[in-house]
Amino acid sequence: MTDRVQSLRFHVQEALSGFRQALVMNLATLSTVAITLFILGSFLLFMRNMNENLKVLRSQLQLTVYLKRSIDEADRKSLVKQIESDPGVVSYKFITRDQALQSVREWMGWTDFEVRDNPLPESFDLKLRDGVDFDAFVRRAGAWPGVDDLSVGEKEVGALLKLLDLARSVGLLLVLVLGTASLMIIANTIKLTVYARRTEISIMKLVGATNWFIRTPFLIEGLLQGLTGAAIALVLLLSGYPILVSRLHSIAPFIRLVDEAGALIGLSWQLLAMGILLGLLGSLISLRRIAV
């Protein structure tokens, strides 16, 4: 046990002296890792919030299908069959012309508004399945027999969904590019330390140190860089996010922002894990060539 502790102390000392030997380079690497993880964290928070808001939108994802005035009983029946057999529809509700008028009245607040000739058509309110291809569904439903028009307002939801998919792809790409960049930068920094310590390494090999023993200080160096970078990113995020939440709440209260502790703790773990992964992978990349 004491030997383990002694050995670990040796490795950590070597790692720290490696860090000090190329201080500026290591600080630059640290900043890169911190920035990458900060952006990753922001992205994760953004996506989390978007998904949260989207869930609300999705649950409201419905479409109104207006019927032709000339529709007869047979057409209406076959339309119901179409609706029932469509995989995109979860449920539907038939709205008579009187019900439509009634809801307009309520909505406008004109409870005693009298209309002689009700201009509103009959309609179906459709509740759509989560994740349905909105545009395709609209095209399909438009071709059903007896359908005159579809409510257009809901199209914006579809557009929003598309935009979010795009945001997700762009964000993932950004994180991937930045992640690769910091991986390379960590690998390069450690390569420099390896170079600075080549004499030590060659002597270690000659007196019979195992490869893993030789690699350990560099792995620790990478690990420290990853972890410290993640810690810096977390401090920035966790202190900045609540400010953003309160600001946004006063400007746009309809946007719901995740701010329960659980989500932030989850984020912390994710970032720390990413930091560890970046650090270890980065040093492993640069250590491939240390072999007997």
Partner 1 sequence: MIQMYNVSKVFSNGVEALNNVNLHVGKGEFVFLIGPSGAGKTTLMRLIFREELPSSGHVIVDGRNIERLSACKVPYLRRSIGVVFQDFRLLDNRTVFENVAFALRVTNAPAADVEKRTRRVLDMLGLGHKKSFTPLQLSGGEKQRVCIARAVINNPSILLTDEPTGNLDPDMSLEIMDILAEINGKGTTLIVATHNSQLVNKMGKRVIGLVNGEVSSDRPKGVYSYS
Binding site for partner 1 (CB under 8 A): 2-3, 6-7, 10, 199-200, 202-211, 213-214, 291-292
Task: Output the DSSP codes for 134-192.
Answer: HHHHHHHHHTSTTEEEE-STTHHHHHHHHHHHHHHHHHHHHHHHHHHHHHHHHHHHHHH
The distance of closest approach from Cβ of residue 28 to partner 1 in the complex, given in angstroms and rounded to an integer, is 24
Q: How far apart are CA 108 and CA 111, in angstroms?
A: 8
**Which position has the token pair 């199209």?**
155
Which one, 180 or 211, has the nearer CB to partner 1?
211
* Shortest distance, position 207 Cβ to partner 1, whole Å: 4
Specify the DSSP element, H or E, that contains 123: strand 123-128
Q: Which is nearer to partner 1, 24 or 291 (CB)?
A: 291
For the bound state, the minimum distance from the C-beta of residue 11 to partner 1, rounded and expressed in Å, comes to 10
CB of 214 to partner 1, least distance (A): 8
113 CB contacts (<8 Å, ≥6 apart)? 105
Distance, first Cα to last Cα, the chain? 28
245 vs 290, beta carbon nearer partner 1: 290
Q: How far apart are CA 192 and CA 77, in angstroms?
A: 77
Least spacing, CB of residue 199 vs partner 1, in Å: 6
Rounded distance between C-alpha atoms, residue 253 and residue 94, angstroms: 34
The single-letter DSSP state of residue 109 is T
CA 155/CA 61 separation, integer angstroms? 10
Instruction: Report, in Å, the least distance between residue 213 CB and partner 1.
Output: 6
- Whichever of 23 and 252 has its CB closer to partner 1, that residue is 23
**Residue closer to partner 1 (CB basis): 116 or 288:** 288
Q: Minimal distance in Å, beta carbon 286 to partner 1?
A: 19
103 or 210: CB nearest partner 1 = 210
Burial of 41 (0-12, 13-18, 19+ CB in 10 A): buried
Which residue's CB is nearer to partner 1, number 7 or number 60?
7
Per the CB < 8 A criterion, the answer to whether 66 and 121 are in contact is yes
Spatial separation of the C-alpha atoms in residues 148 and 150, rounded to whole Å: 7
